Amino acid sequence: MGTEHQSKVVKSLFDGFYHLYPSLEQQWAYYARYIDFMLREPTSQPYLDLRSLIGHKDYFILSTNVDTQVEKTFPDERICNYQGSFAHLQCKQPCCDELFEASPYVERMLAGMAGFEIRSEDVPRCPHCGWQLVPWVRDDTFLQGAAWRESLGRYERFVRERSDRRVLLLELGVGEMTPGIITLPFWSMTAKLPDAHLLSVNISGDSAPLQLGSKAEAILADLSMLLSAARTGDEQRSSSRRVSCVDA
């Protein structure tokens, strides 16, 4: 998705999203390609491995990723995209509590794009007020509307209804940018819930808080390799059980 203009001004996809472009037409030229890339990208193997490991269990996914991978892998009723998703757009004001599918807007922009600039008439506009639409991802205008509140409510209800049961909190590849969404609440739940345990997996970072004692463990590892190994081991155990059943 690179272009000569883009290579001169940005060093990564993330930088490109926050770059200050000279016009909306150039900004949306980048956004359109960026969003199209994420929408078209197939589900990555770590997500498939995770689904293989937990898909048959009672689970819920709280995610701060906005790259559409979570919703490609797991059913909507079992996920909360706390920071939003590039699969949707919202009014920048916002004037309304409504999310818009990004795909048709992206297709139109790409079809009319010349070089690194879209047509002015293709800049996404709110159908209600005419103001600019923006990606539904966390910023100072982020829409915490009905859809967001509903998904957060599902997550909170899931935790509340299982507070007296055995609960395993998996903190997988969580960075340090927004600790108040996953990391700190998971520490708090581990401490407060009588039979909760925390397993944190990251390629770098600190160990689990000492105050949690044996209720928490931190593993420094490549998450994709760890999930792959866990899935392979799970499949081998399942195969062994099937063979034993047939032999019996």
pLDDT the model gives residue 244: 42
DSSP strand pairing (61-63 vs 79-81): parallel
9-54: pLDDT as tens digits: 678 888 999 899 999 999 999 999 999 999 999 999 999 999 999 9
3 state DSSP class of 2 = coil
* pTM (2 d.p.): 0.89
Span 191-221, pLDDT tens digits: 999 999 999 999 987 678 899 999 999 999 9
CATH superfamily, domain 22-42+84-161, is SIR2/SIRT2 'Small Domain' (3.30.1600.10)
Question: How much is the mean pLDDT over the chain?
Answer: 92
Omega before 94 within 30 of 0, i.e. cis: yes
Distances (CA, A) of 63 to 106, 111, 173: 24, 32, 11
Helix (H, G, I), strand (E, B) or coil at 67: coil
**Overall average pLDDT of the 225-240 stretch:** 82
Is residue 246 pLDDT above 50, yes or no? no
Average pLDDT of 73-88? 98
Tens digit of each residue's pLDDT (9 = 90 or more) over 143-201: 999 999 999 999 999 999 999 999 999 999 998 899 999 999 999 999 999 999 999 99
**Distance from C-alpha of 118 to C-alpha of 202, rounded to nearest angstrom:** 40
- Dihedrals phi, psi of 50, to nearest 5 degrees: -65, -45
127 neighbors 98 (Cβ within 8 angstroms) = no
Tokens of 23: 């016009």
Which amino acid belongs to residue 62?
A: L
Domain residue limits, the chain? 22-42+84-161
Residue 78 has pLDDT above 50, yes or no: yes
Q: Does residue 95 carry a pLDDT above 80?
A: yes
Q: What is the Cα–Cα distance from 156 to 181, expressed in whole angstroms?
A: 12
**pLDDT value for 8:** 58
- Confidence band for 240, pLDDT divided at 50, 70 and 90: low
- Rounded Cα distance, 52 and 1, in Å: 31
Please give the average per-residue pLDDT across 68-79, as a whole number: 98
Q: Which helix (H) or strand (E) holds 115?
A: none
Decide the pairing of beta strands 84-91 and 196-202: unpaired
pLDDT at 97 over 50: yes
| Distance set, CA 114 to CA 16, 135, 145 (Å) | 19, 22, 35
Which residue type occupies 179?
Answer: P
Q: Tell me: pLDDT of 1 over 70.
A: no
- For strand 100-101 and strand 196-202, is the pairing parallel, antiparallel, or unpaired? unpaired
Does residue 2 surpass a pLDDT of 80? no
